[in-house]
A and B are shown apart, each in its own frame.
Chain A
């Protein structure tokens, strides 16, 4: 038996370097958060899959287009869309709506939510905005944080660990699991928005759509390659378990059946001759297309924290924040932090909550983890995203290969 960092059934070896195309330029190594790329300068490189977190940063930064993904669900999804007995639910991540337009000649960063709904509706998808699930994540993860905070202030014996880490980013979760398992109690137990969306689509969604859960095929559209690995985790079949407990017998199925990157969704639309740039706008076809501004900013570094603070403030004080923007957690500084002092009506006292936000994980997170392990961290809540800038710059986003590559240090 050899040690492996993967569970049975999980996608492993997602990111591969093609030896014939690799020039050994080392560009990828600068962007790898875990030092998973091996090989001398000038020689073809290879990926150590046990260290790889699947983020795809090496791929989008390779000047020679030498790095590829070994798993694509594109053909499967096209077949499912053509199957009259299947309802295909498209789960759209926040960061997709400000990047997919680039593949259709629209300006970078253009917000195309309703056009993307329209194009995907034309392709045959039901619209499930992952921003709805992001709002749901805030309700769960925010409540969990308040629970841990209160339990710690009151000195409960089994109070959860602080600081609490966000758990939305699958590369970050895998990094902690492979490198710092002693800190797993600090990780929020809330599933990522992708996984909440898949589970809800096949449980509550089965009622909303009036469909048998086995006939629902969930396809998430993600700015991220690591989401493919996350969706394949064997424990993420909670909808199936739920229905089984309620007396429904079927072969096990995953909560999220397939993951397409932003690039792959663009390919799918092009294969179906749908031009997103000229697509009719569409508002969605169920309550799963309703989302708030807090849900949409999940796609930018600091967004999860900002959204969580907005809701925590309301829950703790009973009042909405006078100004919703939390400027200190915005922007591209590697580690950002903020202090929020508020009157906690449940404790009957003022509390000061210290939060931190980390992105470009490989370059920035270790000092914070060392502080926590040494017992010297005074943060209560920490957001960690693997990719520089957050999901907007994820490994599944459109790649601009015009001119030189994006080699260099931040």
Chain B
């Protein structure tokens, strides 16, 4: 029952922590592909392009009409 569910959660979580433990790089700021993205295209975190493409705004959904 609930224990069975938690067995799944624990097994899958262990799989992700294993993926982290065996990773050559373990911190986001060291990802060379992310660095390349910013260098060739995205500029800087929180920069103009980031605001345009990687950030959003949230909506008060208690007031929507349809």
**Which A residues are within 8 Å of any B CB, using their own CB?**
1-8, 61, 94-95, 97-99, 107-111, 113, 132, 134-136, 138-140, 142-144, 147, 167, 173-174, 176-179, 181, 184, 187, 189-191, 195-196, 199-200, 203-204, 207, 235-236, 238-239, 241-242, 287-288, 290-297, 299-301, 303, 307, 310-311, 314-315, 320, 324, 330, 332, 388-390, 392-393, 397, 400, 403-410
Interface size on B (CB < 8 Å)? Answer: 56
5 A-B pairs in the complex with CB atoms less than 8 angstroms apart: A95-B12, A143-B45, A184-B58, A199-B54, A294-B20
Q: Taking A111-B18, A184-B60, A400-B4 as contacts, is the C-beta distance between A388 and B9 under 8 angstroms?
A: yes
Q: Say what secondary structure dominates the interface of chain B.
A: helix
Leading 3 A-B pairs by shortest Cβ distance: A109-B11, A98-B15, A293-B20
From B38, which residue of chain A is reached at the shortest CB distance? Answer: A139
Interface-centre pick from A107, A134, A189, A330 (highest chain B CB count, 10 A): A189
Contact between chains at B25 and A293 (CB < 8 Å): yes
Contact B53 A109 (CB under 8 A): no
Contact residues in A for B6 (Cβ distance below 8 Å): 332, 389, 410
Whether A135 contacts B58 in the complex (CB less than 8 A), given A292-B28, A388-B9, comes out as no
> Could you mark each residue 28-66 of chain B with 1 if its beta carbon is under 8 Å from any beta carbon of chain A, else 0?
111111101110111001100010111111111111111
Which of B4, B21, B37, B55 interacts with A293 by CB under 8 Å?
B21
B60 touches A300 (CB 8 A): no
Look across to chain A and name the residue whose beta carbon is closest to the beta carbon of B22: A293
Name the distance in Å between B24's Cβ and chain A's nearest Cβ: 8
In addition to A190-B55, A295-B28, 13 A-B residue pairs with Cβ atoms within 8 Å of each other are A6-B66, A98-B19, A109-B15, A139-B28, A143-B45, A177-B61, A203-B53, A297-B20, A300-B16, A307-B28, A311-B28, A390-B13, A410-B6
Contact, CB under 8 Å: A409 / B5: no
